[in-house]
Amino acid sequence: MVPPDPRDFGLSEESFRRIEKQNTKDTSLGEILGDAVPFVVCLFLLLHSTEETGWFRLGLGLGTLLFGLLLVSALVSKVARVFRSWVISSEDLAKYAKYRARVSDYSNELAEQQKREEERKQRLYEAKRRKVKWWQSLNGREFEEELAKLLGERGLVARRTGGPGDEGIDLIIERSGKEILLIRPLVGRHCAA
């Protein structure tokens, strides 16, 4: 399965990049106005300040002007971004919408394929577990782990006791509050054929 390519939907690389950029940096009129408010406040303070005189007022004015220029620069950048987003043709937006829908479908198909593959592996694993030779091929630790899983699937609680010092007890199985101790009698021959 091949992932979708924007070019397959008639989108040029430039159009695709422009639309993606717009989607990641969406600028609203509210954001533009929000950036302009500090500039307007600074300008208001500069023009209506009557208490300060002389050099202090000049310094305040220059500081306000520099701050204002920075804000205007940011404002112009955002306005340009909004303008560029308006330049994108409706045809390209329709193509992009089809591309995004295909990407979503592709992701869903990929997830479904992975799910089917996991189910297939599970069925193969369960088929192997039904064969005596598979059980005989396991080492002691693997055998205990697999037996604990199998018993757990049957509604029992099985705990491995852990290696040396377990006094020969490999599993402790609980059923209805009673414990059953499982001791593997022959190392290397877990099941009789």
- Which tens digits make up the pLDDT trace of 53-101? 565 666 666 666 777 677 777 777 777 766 666 667 778 888 898 999 9
In a domain, 134, yes or no: no
Q: State residue 192's pLDDT score.
A: 44
In a domain, residue 108? The reply is yes
pLDDT of residue 163: 65
Exposed e or buried b for every residue in 117-150, given b needs 16+ CB within 10 A? eeeeeeeeeeeeeeeeeebeebeeeebbebbbee
Residue 128 lies in a domain: no
| Beta sheet of 171-175, edge-to-edge order | 157-160, 171-175, 178-182
Q: Is residue 132 over pLDDT 80? A: yes
One domain for residues 145 and 113? no
Q: What tens digit of pLDDT does each residue of 135-193 get?
A: 888 887 888 888 888 888 888 888 777 666 666 677 778 877 777 766 664 444 444 43
Query: Which of 73, 92, 121 is the C-terminal boundary of a domain?
Result: 121
Q: How many domains does the chain have?
A: 2
Domain of residue 61: give its range: 6-121
pLDDT band for position 25 (cuts 50, 70, 90): low
Can you list the pairs that 26-33 forms with residues at least 24 positions away whose Cβ atoms lie under 8 Å? 26/85, 27/78, 27/81, 27/82, 27/85, 29/82, 31/78, 32/75, 32/78, 32/79, 32/82
In this predicted structure, what is the pLDDT of residue 156?
83
Return the residue matching tokens 């064969």: 131
Q: Which residue has the tokens 């091949």?
A: 2
Cβ within 8 Å of residue 22, ≥6 positions away = 81, 84, 85, 88
Side chain identity at 70, as an amino acid letter? L
Angstrom distances, CA of residue 148 to CA of 11, 143, 159 = 56, 8, 7
158: β partners: 173
